Amino acid sequence: MAHTRCHARRMDATSSNMSHPFCGIVPPHILDHLSRAQSSTISGRARRTLEHDALQRTRRRLTTVRGMSAPATARAGSDKPQRTIYDAEHKETLPGKKVRGETDEAGSDASVNRAFAGLGATFELYYKAYGRHSIDGAGLPLDATVHYGKDYDNAFWDGERMVFGDGDGELFRDFTTALDVIGHELTHGVTQYTANLEYLGQSGALNESISDVFGSLIKQYSLKQTADQADWLIGDGLLGPDVDKGTALRSMKAPGTAYDDDVLGKDPQPATMDGYVTTSQDNGGVHINSGIPNHAFYLVAVSLGGNAWERAGQLWYDVLTGGELAKDAQFADFAKLTIDAAKGRYGDHGEEHEALVKAWSQVGVTNNQGH
């Protein structure tokens, strides 16, 4: 069976190559669990997905990905998205056949329309909330490919475009159906052009968590939801009709509770450092331990109330793009930078500072001292 860990290129002192993983939205531990299912249909699909992902990782190892900062000046016209959607026609050749451009009207293919809308919603949150011109900060065109492969149970950002499988229709639905999934994967692109967090251990879990944070914020912004109104689920609506006990891939509100199903297994995410998982799988548990910073963000957002993208999201964005977040940052490093960002933006004694100190302490990353 193929390895289930996401592969990351690691940058040494003489290389300009960026560490950027290939990893889909479906956590490797789910696909690994499914690959051992008694049903040959389920296990076969999972193995094919794993094998595909392993091949994609090999291709990525042979491809140099730029690790440079985005240009300081946005290109003309970069205040509007430039979207192009392609159809792979159930093949695995990218990008596929062009089916919709920025000025084209919506057609009859719902996957194309959802992908187009999801790219636009992601662009809108970053631009209107944070003044960011697309993924790279300078108006990068947004491309996506739908109908990738056959029964392909994943979606991913490959460093250049979004790629969506149709799912198998039983355990997973079409991956264009979840806006937060689109936002999550595109945010890997934002991280690629900014902090470029190493996809390993705690820095890798931060990489995943940041994508969950902004994926959730993109959905909340689109639905005009306050922090109290949001469901804080990642991938709500993505699980198919054959999943009896599951609501989503992850829960930021209550990590470890998104699913507990005979087929999918049990959600392994911890909410605090007491449950931190030490493992050699999944690049050191990046999809598992991301539950800890996820929960910290949730606690900050609901404590502050209102629209989560405004204050809590602003501070996470400040840290991601501020230039001080090291590629190998640990949870405590990130926590300190968010607290420093709150001091700089809102003052030493504001409720933002208090909410951050309390949240990071509550999840066990800090001990409430030295703040």
Ranges in the chain, pLDDT < 50: 1-20, 57-68, 369-371
The torsion angles phi and psi of 118, rounded to 5 degrees, stand at -65, -40
Q: How far apart are CA 144 and CA 147, in angstroms?
A: 10
Count CB-CB contacts under 10 A for residue 192: 23
Give all strands (DSSP E) within the chain, no chain letters. 7-8, 21-22, 83-87, 97-100, 142-146, 155-157, 162-164, 233-234, 250-251, 260-261, 265-266
DSSP string, 229-294: T---EESTTTB-TT-SSBS-SEESSSTT-SBEETTTEE----SSGGGPPP-SSHHHHHHHHTHHHH
DSSP state of 310: T
Phi, psi of 260 (to 5 degrees): -150, 80
CA distances from 67 to 15, 47, 70, 193 (A): 10, 32, 9, 7
State residue 2's pLDDT score. Answer: 33
What 3-state DSSP class applies to 120? helix
What are the φ/ψ torsions at residue 88 (nearest 5 degrees)?
-80, -10
Structure tokens at 332: 């405590």
pTM assigned to the model: 0.90
Give the distance, in angstroms, between the CA of residue 352 and the centroid of all CA atoms in the same chain.
24
What pLDDT does 69 receive? 52
pLDDT at 78: 86
If you ran DSSP here, which 8-state letter would residue 105 be given? P
Q: In this structure, what are the phi and psi dihedrals at residue 83, rounded to the nearest 5 degrees?
A: -105, 140
Cα torsion 355, 357, 367, 316 to 10°: value is 110
**272 contacts: CB under 8 Å, gap ≥ 6:** 292, 295, 362, 363, 364
Which domains does the chain possess? 7-61 (no CATH), 70-371 (1.10.390.10)
Q: What is the DSSP letter of 348?
A: T
Strand duo 233-234 + 250-251: pairing: antiparallel
Give the pLDDT confidence score for residue 52 in this predicted structure: 73
Please report the pLDDT score of residue 327 as a whole number: 96
Active site residues: 185, 287
In the prediction, which pLDDT does 357 show? 97
| Residues 202, 365, 191: CA angle, nearest 5 degrees | 40
Contact 262, 198 (CB under 8 A): no
What is the C-alpha to C-alpha distance for residues 364 and 332, in angstroms, rounded to an integer?
10
